[in-house]
Structure 1
Amino acid sequence: MDKRLLVLASGMFAIGTDSFVVAGVLPQVSASLGVSVALAGQMVTLYALSYALLSPVIAAAAARWPRKRLLLTGLAVFVLGNVVTALAPGIELVLASRVLAGLGAAMFSPTATASGASLVPPEQRGRALAIIVAGLSSATALGAPLGTFIGGWLDWRATMWFVAAVGTLAAAGVAWRLPHIPTPPPVSLARRLAPLGDARVLLTLLTTWLVYSGLFLVYTFIGSSFDRATGGSARMLAALLLLWGVAATVGNLAAGRLTDRYGSRRIINAAIALVALDFVLLPWTSASLATAVPALIVWGLCGWGLLVPQQHRLISITPAAAPLLLGLNSAAIYTGVSMSGLIGGAAITWFDRHALGLVGAAFITVGLFVAEWAQQRIATDRQPASAVAAPSNTGR
């Protein structure tokens, strides 16, 4: 395993920990600052929206920056945002600091994935992406549970200090181990958004948004959806989330090798189909611990295993625009994460909380059809014009 990829994965681990750990300390934030849990929950929304909306803007503004400098600056801003969160006396500054932390994540994450892909030969690109993304998924297995434990042991501010410390260690690793990476040609914001006019790219990004909206729609309210399996025990829920995170990490790493071997189409379709079926069954499988365990394993394996082949598909469409496309894909994920709370909250008011998996499955299933639509457009555009033109002399 290339140690340079591990350095980039450590930064993704810090960003992922910040993404997932806040949900575990929201009640403490609410009580400490004297605000409602709903208002405190906007910490998650603002972090995700900041990341999603600022990724293409920062990529254009910092296009001429050396990649290593951009990675280090992103981690520095990320750490600063978490330090401000830990010190903030009121909810206003807390929420502002989440925007700042999201800005740092927007600078680092797309740059890290594109840089990692550029460090290896094309035939190893899937594995390289898997290693880097494994930093993000492993945050669900290690970073978020550990941060939540620290919050319960001390307080929520200690959790934010923990996230800042992880980001600082990642920055030290980048500074020490990562070599110089050539800076790609500068691209304006208009050109960065231009791929949205390519149906292949747009359909692939729409697949990402649909599937991850459906997945996180349930994750945001997992405590309520799985209360029958956990018996209302926070420790049991934490154990299930730990299992989910381990499965997510394994899914990421396996997806890299499988994508290199079988191509992105088979892995994308199989992962989406399996997790859609898994979510259809959630109203019943979440009713007991014995059935909730395999349901969460399938969720983790397939849900996070989808990310690598999606990135691989985007890079295959236009390799020269890899940083741009990966940034847009990350934006699609985090837009889905930020919207999942709103969609899931509305769904709970209309349906039983245990039926939330069916709503998520609807989004995921539509994502499967869009994924295949994207593949058909990719295949058509790769054919020579003579192969797709209709014959003019057949008389039909």
Structure 2
Amino acid sequence: MFTRVIIHYHEIGLKGKNRFIFENRLRQNITRALQGEGVESVGKISGRLILKLGEKAAWPEVKNRLQKVFGIAYFCPAFAKTGLKELKERGPAEEFLKNLADEIWANVENKNFASFKIDTKRGQKDFPLTSQEVNQYLGALIWEKSKAKVDLEHPALTIFVELIEDFVFIYFEKIKGPGGLPAGSAGKVVALISSGIDSPVASYELMKRGAEVIFVHFHSYPSTSILSQENVKKIVKILSQYQPDSKLYLVPFLDIQKEITAKLPLNLGIIFYRRAMFKIAQKIAEQEKAKALVTGESLGQVASQTLENILVIDETSTLPVFRPLIGRDKEEIIALAKKIGTFELSILPYEDCCSLFIPAHPETKANLAIVKELETQINLEPLVNEAVQKAKVDIIKEK
């Protein structure tokens, strides 16, 4: 029975002198994700993290949580033996491997496999046998017990052996992690999130690149149902599986919409809405010391997402605006929403603020000079400040 989990990372390993910062963040995130799950320790050894599982650890839940920790390339449930550093001569090393083969066989004898291979990685370079010699020695012993064919190309069973410092780790599967960089290692961003399909996926993509995402949701309650706010909370709760304790701002937007609708051309309404949203989001970003805004826009998907309109909307923000879905088509976005678990919530028929006061023929090629000139006819700044002040802040926890 395995007592360890070997965690491998890829992109973190490519970092230079600041690699330890990312490793420490990943270790912290794993420790937090597995709190209360029977994990005794999270240690670091030779470019890997090693979990030591307690007797009460529930592997299915540990596995589920590790698959949601960004920064992990893959992880492997393993059993371990110690004593490598004492093995300086070939004879004692071969005796050690013979005993190891017995333990391996005890773990695989009830498996149904017609072929196998041994795959050894030798981090402990002063071990008397090379990786190839370990493969051959263990392979011969396992063959004697199983009579299964040795197949180096397409084995039914691969027995992985890692010799690291004083340890030998044995495992039989590599479980894919989510990849990316550890959540919180790349600073803060503010994501404009609706209860639709796209913006939760965009938020997920920034989390995967190590950003801590602060969520901002605009609502038009009581002209729209409060259920849209509740739905967004559920979506953020799902996303909080990928970062610890998400912060959600629920921003009242109705007064701004009424002012824009009453005094500005209806065909430009969405443009003015979005510019006001960006002004509010930037003020929240300044409060949170966030360095960028994030949206779920995909080029050409709706009227506000043409190049011309994006240019006009972006002009109001001095922060960079990240659009990780800009080149994705709808099918790709839907597939990722299903993968991360937000899709079923995102297709529920709740009204959000952008469904209110929608013109029949929205402008698709807004002119920046005209838009800025029209904005001088109203003074939105007091309403923008009031919206920020009245925003309700919720802390959404995954557990």
Q: TM-score, normalised by structure 2?
A: 0.19
| Larger Rg belongs to | 2
Q: TM-score, normalised by structure 1?
A: 0.19
Decide which structure has greater strand share.
2
Decide which structure has greater helix share.
1
